[in-house]
Amino acid sequence: MKIVEQDSLNGECRHNFPLSDFFSFDIRPYTSVVKFERGENILEEGRQVSYLYYLAGGRAKLFLSHENGRISLINFLNAPCFIGEMELIGAQSVSSGVTAITPCLCYRIHVSECKDAILGDTKFLRRLCLFLGQKAIANTDVYSKNQSYPLENRLASFILLTSYNGVYRERHLEASEFLGVTYRHLLYVLAGFVKSGILEKTTQGYFIRNIDELQLLARM
């Protein structure tokens, strides 16, 4: 994680500050700007959360570790969105893990310094309710598509969502569980993508050779 100079809130970041309309008070004194590189944890799993993040740019994934060592992908986060809102309102006491898929730019609100003001701000709470409602609808839409479309379409969408710089690197077991298919079925469809020239298997992962065809498959 890289902390951007605080003065940046007085420059371009402040000029384009996206949180001004979310609060009825000036949130900028409690806010800093941070950048996460691909693979860095935005939230550490199992920790108490001291910040509310607003993802202004990039993509991240939410995951949960099990006692047997397996990891389950829970959801994907695309800018713009909040991260850590469930911990803020007390819906869960410790965080799930959130890892950056791409470089992520976040506004980080120091909740410990203004929590009472935030939770008493009806303007923010209305905005948060809208965000949580839209999030629930999006999750329902994903579940519905998982039940209604062939794996070829869902895997194409998953690859576009999780790839970075044209390379797909997700673990097969985690991907198969998220998509609700067997490990063998996932490998079969991936092999089909390679055979048809959509993907190319490399030592670094699967390189996307035909993004137009992949995007066509992903249109559900």
pLDDT at 93: 75
Arithmetic mean of pLDDT over the chain:
88
Tell me, what's the pLDDT at 5?
A: 60
Which residue do the tokens 């999030």 mark?
Answer: 135
Segments in 68-121 forming alpha helices (H): 85-88, 115-119
Q: In CATH, which superfamily holds the domain spanning 2-140? A: Jelly Rolls (2.60.120.10)
Same fold, 2-140 and 148-218: no
Residue 102 confidence (pLDDT): 93
Beta-carbon count within 10 A of 18 CB: 12
The answer to whether 8 touches 39, Cβ cutoff 8 Å, is no
Q: Structural domain boundaries of the chain?
A: 2-140, 148-218
Q: What percent of the chain has pLDDT over 90?
A: 57
| CATH 1.10.10.10 for the 148-218 domain, yes or no | yes
Q: pLDDT tens across 136-160, in order? A: 888 787 777 767 789 999 999 999 9
The helices-and-strands tally (H runs, E runs) of the chain is 8, 12
Quote the longest CA-to-CA distance of the chain. Answer: 57
Please give the Cα distance from 47 to 130 (Å, whole number).
26
177-201 average pLDDT score: 94
pLDDT band at 220 (very low <50, low <70, confident <90, very high): low
Which tens digits make up the pLDDT trace of 4-32?
765 555 455 555 678 888 999 999 899 98
Q: Which amino acid is at 145?
A: K
